[in-house]
Structure 1
Amino acid sequence: MIFAKGKFNVGIVKNYEATVKLTENKYIARKPYRCLLQDKAEIEKQIAELLKTGLIEESSSPNAAPVTLAFKKEERKKSRLCIDYPELNKIVVPESQPFPRIDELVLRARNCRYFTKLDVNSAFWSIPLRSKDKYKTAFVTHHGHWQWCCLPFGLKISPPIFQRILSSMIKRNNLETFAVNYIDDILNYSENYEDHLRHIELVLKMLLNNGFK
């Protein structure tokens, strides 16, 4: 099954582990943010789902980043779990990775009539995190201390790491003449309908074979 049933239903990318390198060996710990009762309930609900799916685990790390909820337009409520990583991001070694240029994409697709956008579900969570780096991602809520088993949202290296992984897969499978990704969004473009269906099928097979949803 390649189509996800919810944001916690994510794939696991094969043969890759993300690493988090620091410029200095420094521990960053902050207290949990105060929040409303309804926000606490939403946070507890999401933590339970993340634990159930193995995306996070209990932590004894000296690190502890606070958590907040942001408004999510699609769900029309505060449901986006945000880990506040600004202090950690200051000491994370950056990842350099080029992103596609809009003008180049327009030039490549100038003769195309058919376009389809595919979105990788909860994209960063598909990337396993190296075991010895998990403690660096630790965060704290009003009722517990946790750390990520996968690449978290909010970490400055997550977008370039994901861009590199997916764009490399597209090139390795010789799909770059009709598919391009910008982080977790994959644009498929074709000149005719028959080719477009075939192109989409090839991209979906690539995603499935590599563990994405």
Structure 2
Amino acid sequence: MEKNAELERGVPRLVINYKPLNSVLEWIRYPIPNKRDLINRLEKAVVFSKFDMKSGFWQIQMMSQTGIKLHLLLLSVIMNGMSCRLNIMNDIFNPYSHFSIVYIDDVLIFSESVEQHWKHLHKFLHIVKQNGLVVSAKKIKLFQTNIRFLGFNICQSQISPIDRVIQFADKFPDQILDKSQLQ
């Protein structure tokens, strides 16, 4: 399946129909954070580093009854995969929300100075190591003053939607007549 992320990355994504599995699972609800609320936390930040958790839904560790850590395959397409992943990532990073934003498997570290950013990155790397997380080396952006995150261009106190988001909004109909317009 080719979506914008796959086109930028140059790697196709395997698509499997998980509807039969999802039909027998009990739904666990966990809210996805509001992007605008997250972005609003960046108003004083001037230095940014962005990370993507490598194969994010493959990284979740569980402790077995024998005390052995098992890596759980938690696919995002399985009904509760996203909820569990968000819950775990928020549990890990919420104590550091004054300098980090987590959105699914993307993490943005933000600071008001380069010196402060070094300290924040050191803490972030400690958290990653402590929790057995793996960061995608290809997607790391360090010490940026202008960064793209969650569909926004962020440059110090200037925050604006990226062109692709604006073009999508311009194409969106004023009235919704049927659900096919939302697809």
Task: Give the TM-score, by structure 1 length.
Answer: 0.52
Does residue 76 (structure 1) correspond to residue 5 (structure 2)? The answer is no
Q: Which deviates more from structure 2 when the two are superposed, residues 110-119 or residues 80-89? A: 80-89
Does residue 107 (structure 1) correspond to residue 11 (structure 2)? The answer is no
Matches within 5 A, 1:1-213: 70-71=1-2, 72-74=6-8, 76=10, 79-128=12-61, 150-171=73-94, 174-213=95-134
**1:209 to partner: Cα distance:** 0.8
Amino acid at match of 1:97: Y
CA RMSD of aligned residues (A): 2.3
Amino acid at match of 1:90: S
Q: Which has the higher contact order (CA 8 A, sep 6+)?
A: 1
Amino acid at match of 2:44: N
**1:96 to partner: Cα distance:** 1.4
**1:98 to partner: Cα distance:** 2.2
Q: Which deviates more from structure 2 when the two are superposed, residues 109-118 or residues 81-90? A: 81-90
SS at 1:73 equivalent: helix
In structure 2, the CA distance between the partners of 1:103 and 1:74, relative to structure 1 (3 Å rule), is: closer
Q: Deviations over 1:143-180 (max 9, x none)?
A: xxxxx952124212111111110111112xx3111112
Unaligned runs of 5+ in 1: 1-69, 132-147
Separation in structure 2 between the aligned mates of residue 111 and residue 165 of structure 1, nearest angstrom? 27
SS at 2:23 equivalent: helix
Amino acid at match of 1:170: F
Q: Deviations over 1:87-108 (max 9, x none)?
A: 3223321221122222322332
Separation in structure 2 between the aligned mates of residue 167 and residue 175 of structure 1, nearest angstrom? 10
In structure 2, the CA distance between the partners of 1:85 and 1:195, relative to structure 1 (3 Å rule), is: same
Task: Give the TM-score, by structure 2 length.
Answer: 0.60
Aligned residues, how many?
Answer: 125
Q: Percent identity?
A: 28
In structure 2, the CA distance between the partners of 1:129 and 1:87, relative to structure 1 (3 Å rule), is: farther
SS at 1:80 equivalent: coil
SS at 1:109 equivalent: coil
**1:130 to partner: Cα distance:** 8.6
Unaligned runs of 5+ in 2: 65-70, 135-183
SS at 1:168 equivalent: helix
Contact 1:160 1:183 in 2 (8 A): no
